[in-house]
Structure 1
């Protein structure tokens, strides 16, 4: 049986996903998935890397968030709470 982190890595090798999508597939809350993603990013082998499509504000399009590995609660530019989650993939 694979560990949770191995399952996350396998899913990200197959296709891009958000923490919410990974959480739904593995029955985990997104906050737990973010913790696992940090470890997965450090543990992938030298030929691979975890790529992150940063969160983006759905109102103003801002995508310059400080930490793309976390889902921000609101946009620092326009204060909107409609922020799309970051998307992760292993390539």
Structure 2
């Protein structure tokens, strides 16, 4: 039986997904998924294998800002224009 983190990693090996996508497919709340993603990213990066944990950063839908300081997080507001219309980050393991 796989752990939650192993299931998240397996899903991300199939293709990109947001935390909301993962939460929906694994029946987990989105904040819990973000906690697991932190650990999955560290385990992939610590592993000496060829895999990489990649993040398409969140992006403001109003001004296009994508320089958020923590890409493995869902910001609530854009620091540039203060918009709350932020596209979720997407994750993948390649």
Interval containing the TM-score (normalised by the shorter chain): over 0.9
Match of 2:74 in 1: 71
1:53 to 51, 56, 61: 56
Deviation, 1:49, is 1.3
**After the TM superposition, which parts of structure 1 deviate over 3 Å for at least 4 consecutive aligned residues?**
none
Scaled by the length of structure 1, the TM-score of the pair is: 0.97
For these two proteins, the number of residue pairs brought into alignment is 91
* Unmatched tracts of structure 1, length 5 or more: none
Determine helix, strand or coil for the equivalent of 1:51. strand
Name whichever of 37-46 and 66-75 sits farther off.
37-46
1:89 to 72, 88, 92: 92
* Unmatched tracts of structure 2, length 5 or more: none
Scaled by the length of structure 2, the TM-score of the pair is: 0.94
- Root-mean-square deviation over aligned CA pairs: 0.6
